[in-house]
């Protein structure tokens, strides 16, 4: 198809190339993105910025020309800077505290695809989505309940009780004032709920092209990211989460969910809280109209019933239940009797839902297996499409662990022997202590196995081809290739191992709790280790938030978590940071369309790391809307991308391998990918099954005509890169230095891709142009001495 485009498109004196770059994880400066000393904004709203290199007078300057088609082609370099959407200031730094919620939301997007026309699979998919929504609501209830234990139980009921030795700066006469302790215990919780409401109401707005028409949920898609659109159920789901959390808070001072109070006022409030909680969970279970895909479904009716005024009334009702429960309840100095039972009930329900999800995922993954059974093992989904269950388990255990760690830390901080945690918290410390012990036992053989593997590693034959005649570079490259390949190959195994270790620890603690077995004396060290681990977890996370808010560099490092999790729209959990993809993709598409209006302009979308996923989704959206001549002037270049080894395997319903193949067929040779074997995050995108035979690199991949199969042997580019299909394997360390070009020494791994001269050749090819070569008569960078 790309070859077709070359036959129709002719280059003339008016031809120019616009290279629109998108950065990846941890953000970057505008200057680094466009490879310039200075950069200025040329479009955007300050949150999403379109920048260009600037001259001394801070005016937009043209980029370096491209040597192609036997002449110099003008080039404009632009960059889209989106890092402000995920990092910067206190507000975004505190989003790290919502990481368990974000994991639960990501688990939804990791569900296996639903084959079209398969009714049992569709029913399984609906059940899985419903269970994920309920689990997400339970996770919200658990964290808010644990915050209430800290604020209302530990501080207000026990620490501020008259006659205690805790917080001695507060006089007894003030402790005996009726509303003081209730207000001190409930106001922080209500503020936390308000913050959750404000965070979940933030959305990155754009005036550019709207979301595409909705696709059926989790079905196989033709192009990557086809079903990445905003869910209209989010406002209703957000209200249901917060009202359920408020009802849970009201149950704590009333004795918990399993004990009906004797007093009439208490009984009325208890039945009200239980009834509201049940209705909220039922609505969460049935509110399933993903992305408005089926307007005739019941989800549309429920969403219409939960309109703005009704949602406001529901929130006021939840606040009234909390205030009423606090007003009629005396706070005993021995602690709230409903704290332990409420937290344990919510945690138990969350564990049960997670286990049920894991069981239902097995047949769903087996049904979906037909869509990837013909792929090589290295391209199939992680854990056979079952990855959503361990991710949800980790989300629940981290959320519960953070809440428990916060309670334990506060209990130690107030420093009073009279402050007592609920009984269930002892089992939580046992959980984490047992997980730490099991993790140590598992880690020892794993470390030994890794060490033996590194000692027995063999030299990679690709390295011999890339660094022929350069023994010093070959040695450092071989070590880096081996390390990076091990990380890419085993990342999902490490995640599964961590989830399994935590789950086994949880199983031990839950079994002992249900059986009523008190921990024997030899388990006391495990509880001590658990207390230390939970305290460190809470302290480390709070410190990370504080440091990120005050130190921009640290904020960018913490932003890695947000960059990965916040790419996905709110679906299972509404109380997560806003999705930046819903703003970045339409604005990139609009900017591309603006450039393509000029018939002499060719646009190359260039994405590094996470930016590779963004440009692939953007190109897929554009291919569905622009006309054929414009399609032939569009190309993409993914750089250090994890599209193939990570995203296609972790999210088989959103970025399946078939969608990448379809996109490659639409673009042909205008999809180029720069990759380094030393890059632990980026890898090949358009090829796989590579092997060296008779001194040549062979492999399978996407062909220019849209088919899949064996490719011609890789050729060596003038810069020393191995070009196999659409993948350009760069030598790392670089060859050179090259005259007139910036130089970077050593193994670069995931950084500084633009410094390699192969960058310009790949941009020219993605633009549908023939790049310069030594026989073209055009000057090419000359390698200096080594």
Per residue in 386-402, pLDDT tens? 999 999 998 988 888 88
The pLDDT score that the predictor gives to residue 515 is: 74
Strands across the sheet containing 601-608? 39-44, 49-53, 75-81, 16-22, 601-608, 634-639, 671-675, 727-729, 722-724, 715-716
Neighbouring C-beta atoms of residue 779, cutoff 10 Å: 11
The pLDDT score that the predictor gives to residue 721 is: 92
What does the DSSP assignment read for 538-581? HHHHHHHHHHHHH-HHHHHHHHHHHHHHTTSPSSS-SSSPPPSH
The pLDDT score that the predictor gives to residue 783 is: 42
- The residue behind tokens 């609009």 is 590
The SS3 call for residue 229 is: coil
Q: CB under 8 Å to 53, separation ≥6 — which residues?
A: 34, 35, 36, 38, 39, 60, 61, 63, 77
The pLDDT score that the predictor gives to residue 731 is: 94
**pTM reported for the whole predicted model:** 0.89
Asked whether the CA dihedral 179, 185, 191, 196 is positive or negative, the reply is: negative
| 241 DSSP β-pair partners | none
For residue 154, what are its two tokens?
A: 């530990």
The pLDDT score that the predictor gives to residue 358 is: 94
The SS3 call for residue 36 is: coil
Q: CB under 8 Å to 708, separation ≥6 — which residues?
A: 661, 700, 701, 702
Regions of the chain where pLDDT drops below 50: 1-8, 210-211, 213-220, 291-295, 774-786
| 286 DSSP β-pair partners | none
The pLDDT score that the predictor gives to residue 302 is: 78
Query: How far is CA 680 from its chain centroid?
Result: 17
Q: Return d(Cα 414, Cα 484) in angstroms, integer.
A: 46
- Residue in 693, 674, 761, 748 with CA at minimum distance from that of residue 464: 693
- The residue behind tokens 């005739």 is 296
């Amino acid at each position: 198809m790309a070859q077709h485009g070359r036959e129709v498109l002719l280059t003339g004196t008016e031809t120019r190339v616009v290279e629109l770059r998108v950065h990846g994880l941890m953000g970057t400066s505008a200057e680094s993105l466009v490879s310039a000393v200075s950069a200025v904004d040329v479009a955007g709203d300050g949150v999403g910025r379109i920048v260009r290199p600037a001259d001394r007078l801070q005016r937009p300057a043209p980029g370096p020309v491209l040597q192609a088609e036997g002449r110099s082609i003008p080039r404009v370099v632009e960059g889209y800077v989106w890092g402000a959407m995920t990092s910067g200031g206190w507000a975004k730094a505190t989003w790290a505290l919502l990481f368990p919620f974000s994991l639960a939301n990501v688990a939804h997007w990791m569900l296996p695809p639903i084959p079209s026309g398969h009714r049992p699979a569709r029913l399984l998919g609906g059940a899985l989505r419903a269970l994920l929504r309920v689990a997400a609501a339970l996770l919200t209830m658990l964290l808010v309940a644990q915050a209430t234990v800290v604020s209302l139980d530990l501080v207000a009921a026990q620490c501020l009780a008259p006659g205690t030795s805790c917080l001695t700066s507060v006089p007894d006469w003030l402790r005996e004032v009726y509303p003081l302790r209730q207000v001190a215990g409930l106001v922080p919780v209500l503020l936390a709920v308000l913050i959750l409401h404000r965070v979940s109401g933030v959305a990155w707005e754009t005036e550019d092209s709207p979301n595409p028409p909705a696709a059926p949920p989790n079905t196989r898609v033709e192009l990557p990211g086809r079903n990445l659109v905003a869910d209209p159920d989010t406002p209703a789901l957000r209200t249901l989460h917060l009202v359920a959390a408020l009802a849970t808070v009201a149950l704590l001072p009333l004795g918990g969910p399993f004990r009906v109070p004797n007093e009439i006022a208490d009984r009325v409030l208890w039945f009200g809280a239980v009834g509201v909680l049940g209705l909220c969970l039922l609505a969460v279970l049935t509110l399933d109209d993903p992305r408005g895909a089926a307007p005739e479904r019941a989800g549309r009716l429920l969403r219409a019933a939960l309109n703005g005024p009704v949602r406001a009334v529901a929130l006021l009702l939840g606040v009234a239940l909390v205030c009423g429960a606090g007003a009629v309840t005396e706070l005993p100095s021995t602690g709230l009797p409903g704290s332990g039972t409420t937290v344990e009930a919510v945690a138990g329900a969350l564990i049960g839902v997670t286990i049920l999800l894991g069981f239902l995922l097995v047949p769903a993954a087996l049904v979906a297996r037909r869509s990837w059974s013909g792929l090589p093992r290295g391209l199939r989904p992680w854990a056979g499409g079952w990855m959503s269950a361990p991710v949800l388990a980790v989300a629940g255990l981290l959320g519960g662990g953070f809440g428990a760690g916060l309670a334990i830390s506060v209990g130690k901080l107030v420093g009073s022997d009279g402050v007592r945690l609920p009984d269930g918290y002892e089992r939580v410390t046992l959980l984490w202590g047992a997980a730490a012990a099991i993790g140590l036992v598992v880690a020892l053989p794993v470390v030994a196995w890794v060490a033996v593997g590194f000692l027995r590693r063999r030299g990679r034959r690709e390295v011999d081809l890339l660094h022929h005649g350069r023994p010093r570079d070959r040695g450092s490259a071989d070590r880096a290739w081996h390390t990076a390949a091990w990380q890419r190959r085993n990342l999902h195994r490490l995640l599964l191992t961590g989830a399994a270790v935590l789950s086994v620890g949880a199983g031990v603690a839950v079994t002992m709790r249900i059986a009523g077995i008190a921990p024997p004396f030899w388990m006391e060290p495990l509880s001590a280790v658990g207390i230390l681990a939970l305290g460190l977890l809470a302290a480390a996370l709070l410190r990370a938030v504080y440091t990120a808010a005050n130190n921009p560099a640290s904020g960018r490092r913490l932003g890695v978590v947000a960059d990965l999790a916040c790419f996905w729209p709110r679906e299972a959990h509404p109380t997560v940071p806003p999705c930046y993809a819903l703003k970045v993709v339409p604005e990139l598409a609009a900017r591309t369309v603006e450039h393509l209006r000029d018939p002499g302009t060719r646009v190359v979308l260039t994405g590094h790391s996470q930016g590779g996923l963004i440009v692939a989704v953007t190109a897929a959206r554009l291919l569905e809307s622009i006309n054929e001549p414009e399609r032939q002037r569009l190309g993409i270049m993914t750089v250090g991308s994890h599209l193939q080894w990570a995203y296609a395997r972790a999210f088989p319903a959103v970025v399946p391998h078939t969608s990448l193949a379809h996109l490659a067929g639409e673009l042909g040779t205008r999809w180029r990918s720069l990759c380094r074997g030393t890059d632990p995050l980026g890898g090949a995108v358009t090829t796989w099954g590579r092997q060296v035979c008779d001194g040549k690199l062979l492999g399978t991949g996407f062909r220019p005509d849209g088919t899949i199969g064996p490719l011609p042997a890789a050729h060596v580019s003038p810069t020393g890169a191995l070009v196999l299909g659409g993948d350009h394997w760069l030598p790392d360390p670089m060859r050179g230095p090259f005259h007139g070009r910036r130089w970077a020494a050593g193994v670069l791994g995931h950084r500084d891709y633009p410094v390699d001269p192969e960058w310009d050749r790949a941009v020219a090819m993605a633009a549908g142009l023939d790049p310069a070569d030594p026989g073209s008569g055009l000057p090419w960078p000359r390698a200096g001495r080594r």
